[in-house]
Structure 1
Amino acid sequence: MPEGTHHFVMTVQKPQAGGYAVATWHGDFTPRPGSTRREVYEWLCEEHGRHFPDLARGVVLFFSLESNQL
């Protein structure tokens, strides 16, 4: 599979029994033409919840979305 046009990093935290759970997720993808940064952020939040169900609807501590080309 070819690399996406954008790279993202997202760190999420959520209270758990005895403390907090934290996970960082990163990857690349190609957004739909005309997508806004906000739409991509909301989609990635949903996807993060699918990948890390224990952290679904957690607090985003860090988010970065940038072109995947240097």
Structure 2
Amino acid sequence: MSSQTQQAPAPAAAGQGSHHYVFTLDLPGRMSSTWYGTITPATGASRHDVFIALRNQISDQHPELSTGNVVFFSLEPNRL
């Protein structure tokens, strides 16, 4: 599990990114894994951009999950 932080104008909780994510991948019959953390997307980045960046980061760190099915993805502002 890791989080990635980039500089952006959005204020964030001290030491955290501007958005919180949860990402679950499944290899049917083999394993299911969930990652969570915070991220501050680059200015102008879309939800899809963040999805692809996180998916690529997970696949780079865990190549066996590169063909996993996405069963859950959530990206929300990191505030109450």
TM-score by length of 1: 0.85
1:61 is matched by which residue type in structure 2?
V
Q: In structure 2, what is the Cα distance between the partners aligned to 1:57 and 1:65?
A: 21
**For this pair of structures, how many residues does the alignment match?**
67
Match of 1:13 in 2: 26
Match of 1:63 in 2: 73
TM-score by length of 2: 0.75
Larger strand fraction of residues: 1
Q: In structure 2, what is the Cα distance between the partners aligned to 1:42 and 1:59?
A: 13
Match of 1:33 in 2: 43
Percent identity among equivalent residues?
Answer: 40
Where in structure 2 are there 5+ consecutive unaligned residues?
1-13
For residues 15-37 of structure 1, give each alpha carbon's deviation from its aligned partner in whole angstroms, at most 9, with x where no partner exists.
4xxx2211000000100000001
For residues 17-62 of structure 1, give each alpha carbon's deviation from its aligned partner in whole angstroms, at most 9, with x where no partner exists.
xx22110000001000000011111111101112332212311000
1:67 is matched by which residue type in structure 2?
P
